[in-house]
Structure 1
Amino acid sequence: MVFEHKYLMELCLENNNPEAHYIEGINQYFFHSNPSKALEHLRHSAHGKYDKGTYLCGVLLLCNGNIKEGKNYLDTLDWKHTVSTSNSCWRKTQTPKKL
């Protein structure tokens, strides 16, 4: 099963699948402690118009001090004009769940 997963992931990455680049970016950043390789994959994901990849790439760039590039990635999500997305996310994190 592991070998099948690895083979399929490599195939997806070779074909520039943005979601696969997003997954590999997370893997490289958080599990292999390789931020430069992670950001490379996340950039591919963002250029493939995968919103989660764009968001994570932008946030990680901001956290690593690359403010201008991070803002540029986040700006592609059009949050300046459509704040309902960010407001909705903010409310969801602030509302305690009822049991």
Structure 2
Amino acid sequence: MSHVAASSRYHPSHSVLRWPTTGGHYILGIEEYHMYKNINIGVHHIRTTATTSHDYATYLYGLLMLCTENFNEWSTYSDKLR
């Protein structure tokens, strides 16, 4: 619940963090990154999910790292998909 209080705005996806699931972090990361343009927060949540071997998050995080030319991080996560 601390994530909700720390935010200056509330949107429904924040409620997913009440239950610390990988899916919750993944959804919140996508929303923060794409909808709200909070790139650092979005990448943090997507990376958190990718470290748990969530295939979609691993793929998305790897693509984000490739697009930002962070090749070392990209290779680490692309190797997890093989």
Structure (1 or 2) with the larger CA radius of gyration: 1
2:43 equivalent among 24, 39, 46: 39
Root-mean-square deviation over aligned CA pairs: 1.7
Which residue does 1:23 correspond to in 2? 27
Question: Contact conserved, 2:62 with 2:78, CA < 8 A, in 1?
Answer: yes
Q: TM-score, normalised by structure 1?
A: 0.65
Which residue does 1:11 correspond to in 2? 18
Question: Contact conserved, 2:32 with 2:41, CA < 8 A, in 1?
Answer: yes
- Matched positions, count: 72
Q: Which runs of 5+ in 1 are unaligned?
A: 79-99
Question: Contact conserved, 2:59 with 2:77, CA < 8 A, in 1?
Answer: yes
Identity of matched residues, %: 32
Runs ≥4 in structure 1, deviation > 6 angstroms? none
Question: Contact conserved, 2:13 with 2:28, CA < 8 A, in 1?
Answer: no
Q: TM-score, normalised by structure 2?
A: 0.76
Distance 1:64 1:23 in 2: 21
Which residue does 1:85 correspond to in 2? none
Distance 1:6 1:30 in 2: 13
